[in-house]
Structure 1
Amino acid sequence: MIFRSKVDRIFVITIGMAILILAASCFFPYFLEDEVPLLAGVILTSTFLLCTGFIVWISIDIRYKLNDDHLFIKAGPIRRRIPYNEITRVSPNRDIFTGFRILSSSDGLEVSYKSAIMGGVKISPENKELFVTELKKRCPNIKS
């Protein structure tokens, strides 16, 4: 079963601001110089497009998949497999600024597991109740 990440307005504004700052820093030389060399223009434009593409890829491709034996979390190239036997707790969490997080909303969950470096991973499935219900079916010993 696949769950998409919930997206809130603050996340969209933050990503938009990051892209605007990136654009301003990449294209600033165009405003300083009368004529920018072709190679410099190609490098600046390529840098902007690659960085923006990476930010957008990570931002819109967030998924949480409940497989037979593990929870699979994916955000662009970032992937995490968490075996169900390692999951100890799932709890509501509104703190999006600390820890390992793959989410796009402040209304999320923290999945704690044994081998986690920072205690767990913060996620934000669109339907939290259904996600927790399905997770408990696959891992009945977790605390919530």
Structure 2
Amino acid sequence: MRFYSEKSPILSLILWGTATAALITGIIDINEEGLGPIVIGVLLALFIGWLWLTTYYEITDNILLVSAGPIRKRIDIYTIRSLNKTRNPVSSPALSFDRIEIVFNMYDSVIISPKDKEAFAAELKKINPDIKVNLKN
């Protein structure tokens, strides 16, 4: 089962605003700086688009796959200890600030932002009922 990342307006503005600014700067500076700035702007926009389209969390058998552009993290669901609501702004495979921290193994964690957090947690608990879930404020 695949869960796509929630996409918050603020983070959308930050990401796409950065890409747009880089492209505009590249276009404005094309005569002075050559093609370098526009190439960088296009590459940045393509990278952000890649992240935008490929950020999801997939549950297959006992594996949770966290995907975001070049990031691919496989987590054994039986090692997940807890799901906790967080607004931690640290860089993560999440396109929203309304996030879940997944604590697994002894000290590992990853922060994600599935659209339907309750359904996501329920699917994980079907596989590992020992997961502690704290998605309330």
Q: Scaled by the length of structure 2, what TM-score is found? A: 0.85
Cα deviation per residue 1:104-131 (whole Å; 9 max; x = unaligned)? Answer: 1111211111165xx4111111111100
RMSD: 2.0
Q: How does 1:1-144 map to 2 (within 5 A)?
A: 1-30=1-30, 35-36=31-32, 40-41=34-35, 43-95=36-88, 97-98=89-90, 101-114=92-105, 119-144=108-133
Higher Rg of the two aligned structures: 1
Structure 1: give runs of 5+ residues left out of the alignment. Answer: none
User: For the residues of structure 1 that align with 2:92 and 2:106, how far apart are their CA atoms?
Assistant: 15
User: For the residues of structure 1 that align with 2:125 and 2:5, how far apart are their CA atoms?
Assistant: 19
The amino acid of 2:112's aligned partner reads I
The amino acid of 2:9's aligned partner reads R
Tell me by how many angstroms 1:78 deviates: 0.9
User: For the residues of structure 1 that align with 2:38 and 2:18, how far apart are their CA atoms?
Assistant: 16
User: For the residues of structure 1 that align with 2:64 and 2:106, how far apart are their CA atoms?
Assistant: 14
User: For the residues of structure 1 that align with 2:119 and 2:59, how far apart are their CA atoms?
Assistant: 12
User: For the residues of structure 2 that align with 1:47 and 1:89, how far apart are their CA atoms?
Assistant: 40
User: For the residues of structure 1 that align with 2:116 and 2:40, how far apart are their CA atoms?
Assistant: 36
User: For the residues of structure 2 that align with 1:135 and 1:13, how far apart are their CA atoms?
Assistant: 31
Tell me by how many angstroms 1:52 deviates: 1.2
Q: 8 Å contact 2:20–2:45 — kept in the other structure?
A: no
The amino acid of 2:72's aligned partner reads R
Q: Scaled by the length of structure 1, what TM-score is found? A: 0.81
User: For the residues of structure 2 that align with 1:88 and 1:104, how far apart are their CA atoms?
Assistant: 23
User: For the residues of structure 2 that align with 1:94 and 1:44, how far apart are their CA atoms?
Assistant: 34
Tell me by how many angstroms 1:24 deviates: 4.4
User: For the residues of structure 2 that align with 1:138 and 1:86, how far apart are their CA atoms?
Assistant: 11
Cα deviation per residue 1:24-45 (whole Å; 9 max; x = unaligned)? Answer: 4434534xxxx458xx22x433
Identity across the alignment (%): 28
Structure 2: give runs of 5+ residues left out of the alignment. Answer: none
- Shift in CA distance, 52/115, structure 1 to aligned 2, threshold 3 Å: farther
Tell me by how many angstroms 1:59 deviates: 2.3
